[in-house]
Amino acid sequence: MLLAENFPGSDELRAEARTVRVTGFWEDRPSIVLLEVMDPGAPRANVVHAAPEETKVHDADPPRELLLFVKDGLLDSIELVDYSGNDAVGLPDIGAVEPPTVNSAGTSGPAPRGR
C-alpha cells in the first residue's frame, strides 16, 4: 500500500519490496520497523525525499502518521508517528490507513528519530 503511488524511485522500491524482510524494531521501539532488502542486486531508488511516502491513520486522536523511509536508495524502515508524544505500539491495521501521499518537499528528509 505504501508503494501504490508513483513518484521518483517508486518502481525501484517496488522491486526491492519483493525481497524485503523485517529485521526488528529500532531500539526495541515497536513504532519503528526496520527493513532489509535481501537481494544484493536490487535496483537503488533515486528518491527526492528520505521519506517519499506518508499516510495518515483514520480517526486517530491524537493524529498518527505512517512514514516509509529510504536510505541509500533502499527501503529502510516504516515509522508510526504518534503526535501525542508517546511511542506508538505496533503498526495500525491496514483498514485504518488512508491512501498514501507522495512527499516531494526538498531534496532530503529527516531520518527516523534517533537514526
Let me know if residue 89 belongs to a domain. yes
Range of the domain at 62: 10-102
Q: Which amino acid is at 113?
A: R
Establish if 3 belongs to a structural domain: no
What global pTM score does this model have?
0.78
Other Cβ atoms within 10 Å of 83 Cβ, number: 12
Residue 110 has pLDDT above 90, yes or no: no
Decide if 40 contacts 98 (C-beta within 8 A).
no
- Domain-located, residue 110: no
In a domain, 113, yes or no: no
Per the domain annotation, does 55 fall within a domain?
A: yes
Closest CA to 65 of 89, 47, 92: 92
Domain count, the chain: 1
- Joined together, the cell numbers standing for residue 103 give 512527499
Q: Which value, in Å, is the radius of gyration of the alpha carbons in the chain?
A: 13
DSSP 17: H
Q: Is residue 57 part of a domain?
A: yes
What does the pLDDT read at residue 61? 77
Chain segment 45-94, per-residue pLDDT in tens: 998 888 888 888 887 777 888 889 999 999 999 988 888 776 666 678 88
What pLDDT is recorded for position 87? 65
Question: What is the rounded distance in angstroms from the CA atom of residue 60 to the CA atom of residue 30?
Answer: 17
Q: Evaluate whether residue 4 is within a structural domain.
A: no
Q: Is residue 44 assigned to a domain?
A: yes
